[in-house]
Amino acid sequence: MDFTKYEKGSYPPWSRIPALQEMTEEAGVDFDQFIQCIKDGKNTAEMAREFQVSQPTIALLEDHFWHYGISSVTGGD
């Protein structure tokens, strides 16, 4: 198979990874408050207590934020 045709810009301008806002909504976490907690440097235990969710849930959301940012929409352009 000739992979040379798959160059920069040949991928769709969207991602299958959900945006952080969708993920926080699904977890029952207020998006704006979550971002403020990250800004304030709160740890996962503090955020889990504040949002009344598990620490692994907060850790997943925070990991997503640091790896993908707020919006996961990316393109090949």
Give dist(CA 58, CA 48) in Å, integer. Answer: 6
Q: Which residue has the higher pLDDT, 77 or 26?
A: 26
Contact status, residue 34 vs residue 47, Cβ threshold 8 Å: yes
pTM as predicted = 0.74
- Condensed to tens digits (0 to 9), the pLDDT of residues 34-74 reads 999 999 999 999 999 999 999 999 999 999 999 988 876 55
pLDDT surpassing 80 at residue 28: yes
Q: What is the pLDDT of residue 77?
A: 47
Domain ranges of the chain: 29-77
CA geometry: angle at 57 spanning 60 and 35, to 5°?
Answer: 70
